[in-house]
Chain A
């Protein structure tokens, strides 16, 4: 029976790291997540990893597969070159155990950009707020984010500056600014224009490349920057 070798970077509760290899029958699994489940059920019950929906919706099973961040559930074993697969926890996240990482810091950054519709009328509007299909498509792509953290792991700046807001939160900021129902642009631009905001991005573009849902954070960051320039011009002329 043809087998694949899964080399998994494991970390115990004391932070000790080791790489462990498992042989998985090729015909028993079709995705990396299935291989991990096979290992857990048949070879090593102690292997820890996070997963839920198995269909690239929940964003739980993001991990580094063959050196690049991917969703384990949607990475088919056929798409991987060779018989050896290296699996490691997502970069730039604190490892809790084995392949499970702590996403609290990431979610804090996400919260910081106020990812919800802000209204000046505090939600007490009289009539329905209409939205044309064109207005809906302005932000649709950015609303597809599943908060998997893959873009954060792919971003080179995120690794050297953990305080940088990062691609996903910045894309979320743009998602709400681009929404015609939202009136919180001034608050969000204030947040993303800080030292740890969009100015930290150097357009490596890896976030966009890595996103499993086709979200384009680097484009969102560019839109945020041009919005900030526009806002600064407005302020400049208002002073005069």
Chain B
């Protein structure tokens, strides 16, 4: 019976592999959405530097600086997707297929460390600003 893509979200009580799969899809969609959003923002350069600067200022300063929180979430999603993607690529080549769960935890631990480094530098950047 076809559950449709919503079936992917039903990972409660399922295994780690199911969770990894569902989150990989979700994070992929978020990254694609961000890519188009990013291109949309960049497309304002076509209207001149003043328009672009005004847009960037409006979303990064003042009442809308909560976008920084979304930036952190985006980093989380990208690091998760990248780490799991690396695991999947290795699995595709037959490396670690028998230990895919251990590999998932290993690569996601690396992602958490990279996220920590990112957060540190992001904090320093905000502090400097």
Q: How many residues of A contact B (CB 8 A)?
A: 27
Interface pair B12/A205, CB less than 8 Å apart: no
Sample of 29 A–B contacts (CB below 8 Å): A66-B13, A91-B1, A92-B1, A92-B3, A93-B1, A94-B1, A154-B14, A156-B22, A159-B3, A159-B7, A160-B3, A160-B4, A160-B5, A160-B7, A162-B1, A162-B2, A202-B24, A203-B92, A203-B97, A204-B18, A204-B20, A204-B21, A205-B100, A206-B18, A210-B15, A216-B98, A219-B97, A219-B98, A222-B94
List 4 additional contacts besides A160-B4, A160-B5; criterion CB under 8 Å: A95-B1, A156-B8, A202-B21, A209-B15
Interface pair A156/B21, CB less than 8 Å apart: yes
A194 to chain B: which residues have CB within 8 Å?
none
Interface pair B92/A68, CB less than 8 Å apart: no
With A160-B5, A162-B2 given, is the CB distance from A206 to B101 under 8 Å? Answer: no
In angstroms, Cα B70 to Cα A46, docked, is: 54
Max chain B Cβ within 10 angstroms of own Cβ: one of A67, A93, A159: A159
Q: Can you name the residue of chain A whose Cβ is closest to the Cβ of B91?
A: A203
B1 to chain A: which residues have CB within 8 Å?
91-95, 159, 162
Please list the residues of chain A having a beta carbon within 8 angstroms of any beta carbon in chain B.
Answer: 66-68, 91-95, 154, 156, 159-162, 202-206, 209-210, 216, 218-219, 222, 225-226
In angstroms, Cα B96 to Cα A179, docked, is: 24
B97 to chain A: which residues have CB within 8 Å?
203, 218-219, 222
A209 to chain B: which residues have CB within 8 Å?
15, 17
A66 to chain B: which residues have CB within 8 Å?
13
Interface pair B3/A206, CB less than 8 Å apart: no
B24 to chain A: which residues have CB within 8 Å?
202
Interface pair A222/B2, CB less than 8 Å apart: no
A160 to chain B: which residues have CB within 8 Å?
2-5, 7-8
Interface pair B92/A206, CB less than 8 Å apart: no
In angstroms, Cα B22 to Cα A40, docked, is: 37
Give the shortest distance, in Å, between A163 (CB) and chain B (any CB). 9
Q: Can you name the residue of chain B whose Cβ is closest to the Cβ of A210?
A: B15
In angstroms, Cα B1 to Cα A93, docked, is: 5
With A156-B21, A206-B17 given, is the CB distance from A225 to B2 under 8 Å? Answer: no
- In the complex, B75 has a CB within 8 A of chain A: no
Interface pair B88/A203, CB less than 8 Å apart: yes
- The 6 A-B pairs at the shortest CB distance, nearest first, are namely A67-B13, A159-B7, A205-B17, A204-B21, A159-B3, A204-B17
